[in-house]
Amino acid sequence: MSKPNIVLLHGFLGAASDWQPLSDLLPEINCVALDLPGHGNAQNQQLRHMADFPVWLQQQLTLRDIRQYHLLGYSLGGRLALQFAATHPAGLQSLLLENAHPGLNSPAERQNRAKADAQWARRFYREALPDVLADWYQQPVFSDLSPQERTLLIAERSQNTGRSLARMLCRCSLARQADYQGWIKTTSLPMLYLCGEQDLKFRTVGEQLAATNPQLQLTCLAGGHNLHRATPDSMAAVIRQWLNAFTF
């Protein structure tokens, strides 16, 4: 019997290698971690628009001859995974979202988010990356990080290219993303939403989504925004249990 496939999409500033600790805990699953455009080994790849992502991901799946698969995305990767799933791609068996936003439904929220992302993008484009990252990781969503973890992340993420990140941030801003809350209410695609108990923003998002769609399973784990980094053992246990429910 062949291993099930799970395709892994990292968050903004991340890389495919972020998933290695989790992948190591799931030897019975074929974990396929990708570098998103503008990141890691795909720094020279760019999306002209966020809407181009489904074509990009389908090309990656075709190159790897992946026909049946589950899709897990974290934060930005989760938003892109959600966008991809909404195109009803052949072979997608389930969608797993880790602290990912489904989209804004208020024009005022979109305007505020666009302004904020544009300010960050200008900084990523113009300033030394370690300086920008030092401020980036002071945002409330990263409040669970210890000073040592924050320092380590700044060192790791400084391997990126500021200008590539700036383009990705602008083109895939939450302000430009469609609102998928309506799609989540009606889709029959099995969905698992993973949130951190200390990540109050996305824990609330997960609870709201679960309240509107009984197909969506909500699981909260001890930790903050980046669960697969902080608690790979717990994540692996949840993913194993989730995939065991499918017949291969």
The string of pLDDT tens digits covering residues 104-140 is 999 999 999 999 999 999 999 999 999 999 999 999 9
Q: What is the average pLDDT across 21-44?
A: 95
Q: Give CATH for domain 5-103+178-245.
A: 3.40.50.1820
Report which residue type is found at 216. L
**Look-up of token digits 């409330």:** 140
Distance CA 99, CA 116 (A): 20
129-136 and 147-157 helices, crossing angle to 10°:
140
Q: For a pLDDT cut of 90, what percent of the chain falls above it?
A: 92
- Does pLDDT of 58 surpass 80? yes
- Does pLDDT of 1 surpass 80? no
Higher pLDDT pick, 248 / 64: 64
Q: Which of 8-12, 23-27, 43-47, 85-89 has the lowest mean pLDDT?
A: 43-47
- Does pLDDT of 170 surpass 80? yes
For 174, phi then psi, to 5°, come to: -60, -25
In the chain, what are the domain boundaries? 5-103+178-245
Q: Using an 8 Å Cβ cutoff, are 206 and 78 in contact?
A: no
Largest CA distance in the chain: 51
The string of pLDDT tens digits covering residues 190-215 is 999 999 999 999 999 999 999 998 88
Distance CA 28, CA 43 (A): 30
